[in-house]
Amino acid sequence: ESTDEVIMKFEEKVLEKDYEKKMETTVTAEWARILITFPPEIEFSYRPYALKEELIQIATNFAGISVGIYGFDPQSYSTSMTSGPMWDSRISFFGYNLKKLSEITHDLERTLKRNPRIKDTKVVSNVWGWWGMDTFEYILKIDKEVLGKYDIDLWYLYSQISPYISGRVRKLPIKISGKEMEISMKFPEAEETDLKKLQETLIRTRAGEFLRLKDVSSLEERPVAGSIDREDQQFKQTLMWEFRGPAKAGQRFKEAVFAKLDLPPGFSASLEQTWRITEEEEKQIVFAIIFSLIIIYMILASLYESFIHPFFILMAVPLALIGVFVAFVVADYTFDSAAYIGVILLGGIVVNNSILLVDHINLRRREGLSLIDAVLKGARERIRPIFLTTSTTVLGMLPMVLLQVDEGKRHIWSSLALSAVGGLISSTIFILVAIPIFYLYGDRIHTWTIDKARELRKAWKGL
């Protein structure tokens, strides 16, 4: 079906609805897109959600094309964005007995295949099996009954075809200069065996007749694991499948399958996916963020010989997080592990503008200006340098946010760059207002606290 014919089926469903809506369709030779919007009274009703479910039902009827339906709620629907299946669900199994482990995974695979929602399944034994090309081995099955009719045994057959398989003829006697010796020969073509040509190989029987190898044998292709991985001395196999339907429903189905597992002693299973950020990794990243802020604070405290001024400078970090949140909401990006790394990177970048501002205010105060005059003049004189440094950084990272490999696919560094860009923009805007205010009132509170402490000390000595 052409792109136009496919997209028209979705359009017909939308046009069936008698409530107000706006539909914009873009169609090219290779892809099509429909954007549906609603007035407020329809948008906040049940109708968009019901329409979305109906469109998902239509999408499940198509095969061999990529379809995605998004909007209004976290539940979404998508099929594979490539020519192969998209393994959106997986369960990893562990055990010390590889044979028994394979039986467990393949039994569950057969059960899953009976579900009409399961499109494809695959069992892999190595960590990269989900991504790489399948590996196959070829089995040459000999029909012994047919072989017996020609009065040929297996050893004789092997001696006839071994030069074409291994490329070597062993124990070939030859006499050189009157001296007998055994030599081996190898055919250079043996490194690239053509299986079809191998089956056409002529075999000479003991009676002098000729037959082809395919007349007495068959060639069978069988998938095998590229490697066998172990984790904590246990063999690991992962069962993967593609679920036809909304992502939320697929997640519920996977959790239900996992909950019903009845594994024998010594075997275990896990839903954890190493390519996604786990709870433990998230805790480690949060610890790294806090630790980096502590290190920054200690460096600034030693530089300014003050515990108050570093606090003013670090106020840029929470101000930057506002921009990070807004940027990810507007861009509709997933806050993944790369985004966390971007926040750590952001902590070291946004404080630079705060240092420029606070250091210049301190300079004006050392020149003899009053607190309020130093704050106003210092902030006013640092506006241009702060905007220039921020602009160069943001413009330098912007291509990383916008650059995509294919339609709908982002580079891994897009989230990292988006964190930095969003945080820098918001922190630059807010620090020029917030930090001077915090500096002014913070310094006044600090001075008031010191004066009160002196008065209390004098009163204590007077007693």
Question: What topology is assigned to 135-224 in CATH?
Answer: 3.30.2090
- The residue type of 449 is T
Number of CB atoms found within 10 A of residue 412's CB: 9
Give, in order, the Cα–Cα distances in Å from 203 to each of 141, 170, 208.
16, 18, 10
User: According to the model, what pLDDT value does residue 81 have?
Assistant: 46
User: How do the domains of the chain map onto residue ranges?
Assistant: 3-78, 89-129+226-270, 135-224, 279-462
Q: How many residues does the chain have?
A: 463
Give, in order, the Cα–Cα distances in Å from 111 to each of 116, 239, 240.
11, 12, 13
3-class DSSP state of 141: strand
Contact 239, 105 (CB under 8 A): yes
Q: Say which CATH class 89-129+226-270 falls into.
A: alpha beta
Rg (CA), the chain: 35
pLDDT below 50 — which residues of the chain?
81-84, 128-133, 274-275, 405-409
- Equal fold, 89-129+226-270 vs 135-224: no
User: How many alpha carbons fall within 13 Å on the CB side of residue 328?
Assistant: 21
User: According to the model, what pLDDT value does residue 416 have?
Assistant: 83
Q: Which residues contact 181 (CB under 8 A, 6 or more apart)?
A: 173, 174, 175
User: According to the model, what pLDDT value does residue 58 have?
Assistant: 86
Decide if domain 279-462 falls under CATH 1.20.1640.10. Answer: yes
Beta bridge partners of 124: 238
The phi, psi pair for 404, rounded to 5°, reads: -135, 145
Please report, to the nearest 10 degrees, the dihedral formed by the alpha carbons of residues 334, 340, 342, 344 taken in order.
160
- In 3D space, the residue among 326, 317, 327 whose CA is nearest the CA of residue 347 turns out to be 317
User: According to the model, what pLDDT value does residue 165 have?
Assistant: 66
User: According to the model, what pLDDT value does residue 187 have?
Assistant: 57
Long-range contacts of 285-292 (CB under 8 A, 24+ apart): 285/337, 285/340, 285/341, 285/344, 288/344, 289/340, 289/343, 289/344, 289/347, 292/344, 292/347, 292/348
Contact 171, 134 (CB under 8 A): no
